[in-house]
Amino acid sequence: MNSESNLSQKANSSFTMDDFAQALEKHDYQFQKGQVVHGKVFQLDPDGAYVDIGGKASAYIPRDEASLRAVTDLSEVLPLQEELEFLIIREQDAEGQVTLSRRQLEIQHIWEKLVQMQENSQTIQVRVTGVNKGGVTVDFQSLRGFIPRSHLAERDNLEALKGHTLTAGFLEVDRNSKKLVLSQRLAARSSNFSLLEIGQLVEGKITGIKPFGVFVDLNGMSALLHIKQVSQKFIESLEKVFQVGQTIKAVIIDLDEGKGRVAISTRILENFPGEVLENIEEVMASAEARAHRAANKSAE
């Protein structure tokens, strides 16, 4: 009885050990999902290609994983015997074969590029592909992004933007959640900022009046005319001096691109304290000469 059970145990154990040895033979544990490997395509077939990545078994890349762009001829994107980079997207099957992708590797590279561009405060060109209540969906090198309505230059007729290319800055780039949120207004602000300098005379429309100052739109960028920078004379109420929609000229006295802030002054343009309050038309009419004089005075 004992000798029989020992025999059966021996048989079972030798079977599992053989099985385990075969499994080890078939599987190559150096290849993991998410790993980038180098390899050479050695055979093409209608549905994909076989790749030598130095494993015990060849790897396989399906046709739809060959490239981000539509592929008609596989040999164009997967030339034979040329060393290429691949991403492992599926670990080994029963035959020890891993599944590869070039398409998902390209997507990874695009995300890396976007993160870098965001860090450098760069802008990108995107094509509007769709419209919803909250804004527009856009395409950047096959990645899907979103621009909220509040960050569009054109907020009323979104349908008219379909198919158009917009310049956008970055609000959020999250590679893990595949979230790309962009802003057209941010890009406009960035490009406008490069045109501004301290001491420059600018013209804009008043968009809001607060107790502490007046907000002025300079080509899509908001500037603040602080109450203390309006006149050399004390002002009780800004609403008695200005009105929303009014066009004014002022001199830039401070710039902070990081925070998107522009500070302007009409006080600099006065010939005497209170002139802006008494005769703003005259101050605005000769603003260029006054700004030039103020610049020369500060240079002395």
Residue ranges of the alpha helices (H) in 49-132? 74-77, 103-119
**What mean pLDDT comes out for the span 34-55?**
91
Listed in order, strand segments (DSSP E) in 70-178 are 83-90, 99-101, 124-132, 135-140, 143-148, 165-174
Of the candidates 211, 255, 253, 259, the residue with the CA atom closest to the CA atom of residue 235: 211
Q: Residue 16's pLDDT is what?
A: 66
Q: Is the pLDDT of residue 300 over 70?
A: no
- Kindly indicate the confidence band of residue 297, based on its pLDDT and cuts at 50, 70 and 90: confident
- Kindly indicate the confidence band of residue 15, based on its pLDDT and cuts at 50, 70 and 90: low
Burial class (CB in 10 A: 0-12, 13-18, 19+), 26: middle
Q: What is the pTM of this model?
A: 0.58
CATH class of 36-101: mainly beta
**Fold equal for 36-101 and 120-189:** yes
Query: What does the domain layout of the chain look like in residue ranges?
Result: 36-101, 120-189, 197-290
Highest mean pLDDT among 88-97, 116-125, 135-144: 135-144
Q: Residue 82's pLDDT is what?
A: 92
Of the candidates 271, 216, 223, 220, the residue with the CA atom closest to the CA atom of residue 242: 216
CB atoms within 10 A of CB 175: 14
Virtual torsion, Cα 194, 195, 201, 205, nearest 10 deg: -90
Q: How far apart are CA 223 and CA 217, in angstroms?
A: 6
Q: How far apart are CA 167 and CA 186, in angstroms?
A: 9
How many Å is the maximal CA-CA distance in the chain? 119
Q: Are 191 and 122 in contact (CB under 8 A)?
A: no
Percentage of the residues of the chain whose pLDDT score is greater than 70? 88
**What mean pLDDT comes out for the span 171-191?**
86
Q: How far apart are CA 273 and CA 84, in angstroms?
A: 73
For 15, half-sphere exposure in the C-beta direction (CA atoms, 13 angstrom radius) is: 6
Cα-based distances in Å from 32 to 36, 90, 157: 9, 8, 49
N-terminal to C-terminal alpha carbon distance within the chain: 114
Average pLDDT over the chain, rounded to an integer: 86
Identify the DSSP state of 149.
G
Q: Are 229 and 265 in contact (CB under 8 A)?
A: yes
What architecture (CATH level 2) is domain 197-290? Beta Barrel (2.40)
Q: Residue 4's pLDDT is what?
A: 47
- Kindly indicate the confidence band of residue 26, based on its pLDDT and cuts at 50, 70 and 90: low
CATH of domain 120-189: 2.40.50.140
Q: How far apart are CA 181 and CA 169, in angstroms?
A: 9
- Kindly indicate the confidence band of residue 29, based on its pLDDT and cuts at 50, 70 and 90: low
Q: Residue 8's pLDDT is what?
A: 45
Can you tell me whether residue 267 is helix, strand or coil? Answer: helix
Q: Are 115 and 173 in contact (CB under 8 A)?
A: yes
Phi, psi of 244 (to 5 degrees): -60, 135
CA 81 remoteness from chain centre: 36
